[in-house]
Structure 1
C-alpha cells in the first residue's frame, strides 16, 4: 500500500495489519497537532467497592451472659435488653432458650444471627422428638455442634456475630457449661461470661466459687450460686451501659429446666453522687 513504511519486522503484512498501522499513525499525528486534548481513558468498574459486604457491625445486640456450675446443676442468666446501637430499643427480649429438658443456651451479640441459629436448633430438636428413640440432644453435643457452625461461617468470612453459653446436665448427671464465640473458639469451665461480663462479673463469680466451695462447684450450693449470679448481674447493670435491670435466669437440675423470667434487680444508686470530677 502506497505511503506506508514497512515495519522493522521480517513478517509479511496483510491488509488488516496495514489498516491498523494507518490508524495508529493517524492517531499519533492527531495527538501531536492537538497537545491540549484530554485523551485519558477511563476503564469501567466491573465490581463496585461495596458490591458485597457481610456483617461488620451488628445493629440490634444483646449484652453479657453469665453462667456457673453448682452441686446439682447449672445456672445461666442474661438481661432482656436489646440495644439498637446505643439506644435501649427492646426491653423484653428473651436471650435464653430452653432446648430440651436438660439443655439451655444463651447468647450475646447480634439478635438476628441468634434467631437464625435458634431456629435451626429447634428444627433439629423437633426432628429428634419425631424419631421417638429416647435420644435427646445433650449440652456437650449442642456445644460441639454450635462450635462447628460458627467456625464454618467464620471460615467463609461471613460469621454469625454471636457468643454462646451452653449449659445443662449430661446423661451421667454431671453438669456441663461451655463457651463458643463467633470465631469458633470454644472451651468449658466452672463459671463463664460473655461480653463485658468477662471483665466485670467473671472475677466475682470465680471469687465466690473459691471462697464458698474451695474452687469445686460440686460443693457450691444452689442458693450461693443464685446469689453469685444475681450479684454479677447487678455489677453489670451498675457498670455496663448496655446492661439492664430486667433479666432471666435458667436453673438446670435433674428435675428439669426452670426459667425464671422476668426478674428485677434491687439496686442502690446513692453512691452515684460520689462519682464526680470526670467531666
Structure 2
C-alpha cells in the first residue's frame, strides 16, 4: 500500500510537470506563430483543451481519441500542404504535432494518480471513523464505546455477582426541537443536556451519546429498581427553570423518555440484543 501510494504521488507530480511544459509550449506556439496562422492555432488549442478536460474528467478514452484525431488530422494536412502546395513547415507546426497527446496524456496520468490517492484517503477516513469512540458534539463516548464497555462491565459484574443496568434517555420531542431551533442552538441543547445528565449520575456510572439525535445511554452499577433514583435526579436537573437558559425560549420545557433494564445472563455477550431490549421499553414511557 505504501509503495503504491508513493508511486501514485510520483505520477501526480510528473503529470503536473508535463502539464506545465504543455502550457509553456502553448504560450510559445502563440508567440512564435506567424500572423496568418494564429487563428488556426487558436482553434487547435481550443480542441486540445477539450481533450485535456476529458482527461481530467476521467474520460481518458474520449480525450485520447480526440488528441489522436487532432494530431493525425494536423499531420495529414501539413504533409498535403507541403507536397501538394509547397507550403512552408514552421517550427510551431511541430509543436502542434506533440501538444495534443502531451496534454491529454498528462491529464489522464494526473486523473489516474489522484483516483488512487482519493481511494486511499477514503479508506483511511473510514478506518479512522471506525476507531473514533467519542461523539463530536457532546464529547461523550459513543455507541461503539458503549458496546465495548458493556461487554467488559457485564462480564465483571456476572463474575462478582453484582447488578448492572442499562438506561436509555431520549428527547421526547427531538424532531420538533430540531426544527424549531437553529443548528447552533440545537448543538448547544445537546451539549447542555449531556452536561445535566453527567452531573446527575455517580462517578462509577458511565454515560454515552449513542446517536446524532442526542439519545444517551447510561451503564449503571445498580439494579433496575434503584435506577429510579437516577431517573428522578435527571428529571429534576432538566426541569429546573434555568436549565436551558439562552437555548430554549421561556415556557419551552425539555421532556425526556426513559427506559431501563437490568442485565440478565441470557443476553450473554450480545450487547446489541441487550440494547434492543431496553429500547423496546421506551414505547411504554408515555
Structure with the greater alpha carbon radius of gyration: 2
Highest relative contact order (Cα 8 Å, sep 6+), 1 or 2?
A: 1
More helix by share: 2
Do both share a fold (TM > 0.5)? no
For normalisation by structure 1, the TM-score amounts to 0.27
For normalisation by structure 2, the TM-score amounts to 0.26
